[in-house]
Amino acid sequence: RKEVEQDPGPFNVPEGATVAFNCTYSNSASQSFFWYRQDCRKEPKLLMSVYSSGNEDGRFTAQLNRASQYISLLIRDSKLSDSATYLCVVDGGSQGNLIFGKGTKLSVKP
C-alpha cells in the first residue's frame, strides 16, 4: 500500500459545482495532515491543515477520519481559479518528513 494515495483525476467540473477529493494514508502514527495546492509548473502552497474535528475555510472543508486513515477535501461553489492540482500531505513520523500524495488534478470549466 502506498503511503499516501489519491485519485489522480482529472476532475472536470463546471463552475459552481461541489467537488470532493479523497485521500488515504498508511502510517497510523501520523499526527499532521494538510492539503496543499499546486498550480501548473509552480510550487505547492498550503491550502489548509486538517484537524480531527474537521475544519472549514470559506468554500473549503477538510475532514480527517483517523480510524479509517482517510482525509477529504470538499470545495463548494467551484471557481475557475480553483483549477489546480490538490496534494494530500501527511507527516511520515520522523523529523522533517512530510509525505505527499501524487495529487488530484481539478479543472473547473465555465
Partner 1 sequence: ETGVTQSPTHLIKTRGQQVTLRCSSQSGHNTVSWYQQALGQGPQFIFQYYREEENGRGNFPPRFSGLQFPNYSSELNVNALELDDSALYLCASSQHRGTNEKLFFGSGTQLSVL
* Site residues (vs partner 1, CB under 8 A): 4, 31-32, 42-46, 49, 87, 91-92, 94-103
Closer residue to partner 1, CB minimum distance, 3 or 76: 3
State the nearest-atom distance from the C-beta of 38 to partner 1, in Å.
Answer: 9
**Closest by CA position to 69, among listed 8, 25, 9:** 25
Number of helical H runs and strand E runs in the chain: 0, 11
Closer residue to partner 1, CB minimum distance, 17 or 99: 99
State the nearest-atom distance from the C-beta of 92 to partner 1, in Å.
Answer: 7
State the nearest-atom distance from the C-beta of 57 to partner 1, in Å.
Answer: 14
